[in-house]
Structures are given as structure tokens and as C-alpha cells.
């Protein structure tokens, strides 16, 4: 198992909390080192996790990272580490934290009408990161501890997005200092547009998607009478800005990029999540029977999802068969992990006797698809096969050290094997990555009581020290 210290130390240890940020006063006030930026981003992420704003869906976050990294490859810093994540917020917004953490609201994902539009938003955010825009704002605030700088980062975002969830963070810093930051964003926006557009084009997306998306948002704003989508507040938009982008884009040929199936499946998932189960069923039914604009595979995927949620297993199973036939006829959907995951879920619901075999093969075909692995492990635990589960989870945790679902499954597996130490340790990591430091400490104390090897116990001790430091930092903010 990966030690908590290994992960968290990376983000916290090189700052001595008691002494504030070493050397920051000497740094030219507007520049942070890449490590400092990453640390501020990490700390901000803990805040976001703690306030439960993350959209807990591995398929959506894997999709965003896949698309995001494809774009990062064409940025000025192709080897920089990024993390793309979705927020459980149906307002339209996206933002970049220092250190490459890029958040996209569920509402923005739904508002984009093509994958190129979504890519245009991500490219713009990537440019904010590679140009260190927010980092420079945060640095100029001269925060004296890492935690307070992270608080400022979150607060700047809160002030500009007006999101209720992050209003609490705003209270912890001087409102006046934040207000000052609202003023010098136009230059940043133009720079992010220009660089973002360049990334978008190099990655072979449709460049026209950028002004089209912004125009649509602006039109929506006019209709809403000043009730601007948050995105327009965090990325102030003017007609000049749109005209500027259009000028650049107009020299480019219009290319129609087909959307990936994953983009459409993710959108279907979100459309369903936004509605009650019954409404979702009738929405997708209607879309399919009236041949509404959209991809019928994605629409049927949404329908099967909703039917499962509503426990209409038999109909879900029938619709899945149709979906399979359709998918088989289309090259890009023949080998799709999200469809394989849904098929498994239907199989489980129908209690088919070959379900375990199905998962064994599917996990072999898609060894990196976490949603599939969650379901497989759950099934393994139901069939009392915790040993296999533990092995599988260990591989995944290395790849996704902040995935709380993996830790929860680990805890369940160890519980089944009567390994108390490991159970509490895994539970502690789950809490720690949710930002629930008290609960994490409690679990580590329980692990200590359960007893373990010298190595295990010293790991717990150093994790405990780490967590207490983080608690101290949070209290100081």
C-alpha cells in the first residue's frame, strides 16, 4: 500500500508551517516556484474535497483527463502535471487553480454542444495555468502560509464565481484584497484566449468552437438579464474579446470534428443525473422515438442507466440488447469501456450466472477503467473473494492515490480478511483524501491499536504527524 506520507508530504512538507512560507518575501512577489504552485493547488483541492463539491464519478473524471492531457500535449509545458476534475454544480463554470488543477462544472459540460467547444474551454484554462495567472494573483497577496495562500486562491475563485459553496472560504480572507484582484483580468483573458486557441488548433479541434461557445453564453446572459453564467464572471467576456477571437479564427477553415462517443456518453450520464429517474426515462424515451438530434447510442445509454436506477431490470436488459446491436454496427463504439461497464451493471442486476466471468474478461480488456473495477471488486466481495480484490485494488491505488472509493473498497476487503490494521489504515486514507482529517486520525489510532509490523506502525506514526500538521495549518488560516 502506498503511504499517505509519500503522497501528502509531496504537497506539504517542504513548507514549515510554523515559519510560514520560507523565502516567499524574497521572491519577486509575483512569482512562485512550480513546486509552490503545485502545493497551493493541492491544498485548495483538499478544501474543495472537504466541502464535497467534487463530482464523484470516475468515468467523467477519466474522460476529462484524457481530453485535457491530449490538449496539454500541445501547450507550452507539455510535461507539466495536470489534474482535471468535474464539480457537482449545474451552474456554467470552469476554473484553473495554481499548479494545474482544472475544474469544470457539470453545468458547463452540459452547455457545450460539441467536444470542440469543451476542448476550447479546457485549452483556455490550460493557458491560464501555463501563464501562471492565478498563481501571480495569489503571490501578490503575500500570504504568509501555504494554507492561507490556498485560502486566497479559493477565495478569489469564489469571489469571481459567486458560487455559494465557496462563499465560506471568502470569509477567511480580506474581502478588499480579493476585490482588487477582480480588476486586472482582461489582459489575462486575452492571453488565455490567444494561447488556448493555439492549443485547440494544434490538437486538431474545430477552432470556430471557441467564439461560438462564448457567443452562446453571451446570448444566454442577455436573456437572463444580468444573471450571467458564472463562467462569464470568472472569465470576463466582452464583445471585443469575441471579435478578437473571431478575427483569428476566420482565417481558419471550418472543420467538422466528430465528437468522441465518450463525450456523448458523459453528457447522457449528466443529463440523466440532473433529472429524477422517471423524468430521465421519459426524456430518453422521447429522444429515441422522435429521433431527436443527438447520438442514438448515447441516448439509449442514458435510457438504460435510468431504467437501472428505477429497478426496471427487464426493460433495461432489453434496451441494452438493442444498444449492443447498434454499437456493434459503429466502429467507435465496439470497444468502449463505458458501454462495457453499463453491460456489467445490467448483468449484475439480472443476476446472470456468468456475471463474474463477464467482469473478469472486461477488466482484462479495460484494466484502467475504474468504474468497471469498482463494480468487479464489489462483486468479488459479495462472493467472498477478498484476496483477488486486494490485489486488484493495490494496482489501482498506485495509479490513483487520491481515489477515496478505492480506499473504501480496500477497507471492506481487509475487513473480510480480518486484517484490522490494514482496514483502518485504508479507511484513514479515504477520510484524509476527503479532507476529513479528524476522522482520518481516529482511524489511524485504531490501526495502531490493532497492531502491526514495525514498518507498518512507523508509517502510521509519520502519517499521524502529517495529519496533525495539516490540521494545524487549517486552524491557522
Residues that bind Zn ion (CB under 5 A): 189, 192, 235
Closer Cβ to Zn ion, 109 or 129, answer by number: 129
Number of residues that this document lists for the chain? 477
Joined grid coordinates for residue 12: 506539504
CB 255 to Zn ion: min, Å: 24
Residue 459 CB contacts under 8 Å (≥ 6 apart), including other chains: 3, 4, 5, 425
CB 71 to Zn ion: min, Å: 15
d(CA 176, CA 183): 12
Distances (CA, A) of 269 to 71, 258, 260, 300: 23, 19, 15, 11
CB 133 to Zn ion: min, Å: 8
CB 235 to Zn ion: min, Å: 3
Closer Cβ to Zn ion, 131 or 410, answer by number: 131
Closer Cβ to Zn ion, 185 or 310, answer by number: 185
Degrees to nearest 5, angle at CA 197 with 36 and 248? 140
Closer Cβ to Zn ion, 108 or 192, answer by number: 192
Which residue reads 488565455 in cell numbers?
A: 192
Q: What end-to-end distance do the CA atoms of the chain give, in Å?
A: 32
d(CA 476, CA 430): 24
CB 196 to Zn ion: min, Å: 8
Contact in structure between 191 and 123 (CB atoms under 8 Å): no
Residue 58 CB contacts under 8 Å (≥ 6 apart), including other chains: 370, 371, 374, 403, 405
Closer Cβ to Zn ion, 189 or 466, answer by number: 189
> Which position's Cβ is nearest Zn ion?
235
What is the pairing mode between strands 94-97 and 101-105? Answer: antiparallel
Residue 276: left (phi > 0), alpha (psi -120 to 50), or beta? beta
CB 131 to Zn ion: min, Å: 10
Closer Cβ to Zn ion, 184 or 438, answer by number: 184
CB 82 to Zn ion: min, Å: 16
CB 75 to Zn ion: min, Å: 15
Closer Cβ to Zn ion, 231 or 374, answer by number: 231
Joined grid coordinates for residue 193: 484566449
Nearest to 11 by CA among 32, 33, 41, 51: 41
Closer Cβ to Zn ion, 68 or 302, answer by number: 68
Residue 226: left (phi > 0), alpha (psi -120 to 50), or beta? left
Amino acid at each position: 500500500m502506498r503511504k499517505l506520507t509519500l503522497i501528502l508530504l509531496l504537497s506539504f512538507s517542504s513548507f514549515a508551517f510554523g515559519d510560514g512560507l520560507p523565502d516567499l518575501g524574497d521572491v519577486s512577489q509575483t512569482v512562485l516556484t512550480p513546486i509552490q504552485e503545485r502545493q497551493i493547488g493541492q491544498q485548495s483541492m483538499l478544501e474543495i474535497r472537504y466541502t464535497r463539491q467534487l463530482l464523484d464519478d470516475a468515468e467523467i473524471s477519466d474522460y476529462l483527463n484524457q481530453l485535457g492531457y491530449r490538449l496539454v500535449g500541445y501547450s507550452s509545458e507539455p510535461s507539466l502535471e495536470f489534474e482535471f476534475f468535474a464539480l457537482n454544480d449545474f451552474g456554467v463554470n470552469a476554473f484553473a487553480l495554481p499548479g494545474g488543477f482544472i475544474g469544470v462544472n457539470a453545468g458547463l459540460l452540459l452547455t457545450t454542444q460539441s467536444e470542440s467547444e469543451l476542448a476550447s474551454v479546457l485549452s483556455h484554462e490550460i493557458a491560464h495555468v501555463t501563464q501562471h495567472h492565478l498563481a501571480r494573483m495569489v503571490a501578490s497577496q503575500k500570504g504568509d502560509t501555504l494554507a492561507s495562500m490556498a485560502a486566497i486562491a479559493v477565495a478569489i475563485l469564489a469571489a469571481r464565481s459567486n458560487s455559494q459553496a465557496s462563499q465560506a472560504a471568502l470569509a477567511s480572507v480580506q474581502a478588499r484584497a480579493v476585490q482588487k484582484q477582480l480588476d486586472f483580468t482582461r489582459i489575462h483573458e486575452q492571453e488565455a484566449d490567444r494561447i488556448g486557441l493555439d492549443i485547440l488548433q494544434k490538437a486538431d479541434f474545430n477552432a470556430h468552437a471557441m467564439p461560438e461557445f462564448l457567443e452562446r453564453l453571451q446570448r444566454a446572459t442577455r436573456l437572463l438579464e444580468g444573471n450571467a453564467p458564472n463562467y462569464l464572471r470568472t472569465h470576463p467576456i466582452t464583445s471585443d474579446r469575441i471579435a478578437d477571437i473571431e478575427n483569428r479564427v476566420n482565417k481558419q477553415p471550418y472543420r467538422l470534428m466528430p465528437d468522441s462517443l465518450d463525450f456523448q456518453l458523459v453528457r447522457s450520464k449528466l443529463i440523466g443525473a440532473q433529472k429524477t429517474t422517471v423524468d430521465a426515462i421519459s426524456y430518453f424515451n422521447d429522444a429515441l422515438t422522435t429521433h431527436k438530434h443527438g447520438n442514438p447510442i448515447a441516448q439509449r445509454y442514458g435510457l438504460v442507466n435510468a431504467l437501472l436506477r428505477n429497478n426496471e431490470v427487464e426493460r433495461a436488459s432489453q434496451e441494452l440488447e438493442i444498444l449492443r446491436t447498434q454499437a456493434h454496427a459503429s466502429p467507435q463504439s465496439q470497444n468502449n469501456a463505458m458501454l462495457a461497464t453499463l453491460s456489467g451493471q445490467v448483468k449484475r442486476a439480472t443476476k446472470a450466472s456468468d456475471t463474474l466471468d463477464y467482469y473478469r474478461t472486461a477488466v482484462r480488456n479495460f484494466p484502467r477503467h475504474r468504474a468497471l473495477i469498482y463494480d468487479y471488486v464489489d462483486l468479488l466481495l459479495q462472493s467472498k473473494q477478498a484476496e483477488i480484490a486486494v490485489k486488484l485494488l493495490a494496482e489501482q491505488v498506485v495509479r490513483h492515490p487520491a481515489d477515496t472509493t478505492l480506499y473504501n473498497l480496500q477497507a471492506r476487503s481487509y475487513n473480510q480478511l480480518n486484517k484490522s490494521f490494514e482496514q483502518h489504515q485504508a479507511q484513514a486514507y479515504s477520510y484524509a483524501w476527503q479532507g476529513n482529517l479528524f476522522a482520518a486520525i481516529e482511524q489511524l489510532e485504531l490501526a495502531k491499536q490493532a497492531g502491526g509490523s514495525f514498518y507498518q506502525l512507523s508509517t502510521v506514526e509519520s502519517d499521524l504527524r502529517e495529519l496533525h500538521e495539516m490540521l494545524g495549518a487549517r486552524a491557522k488560516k
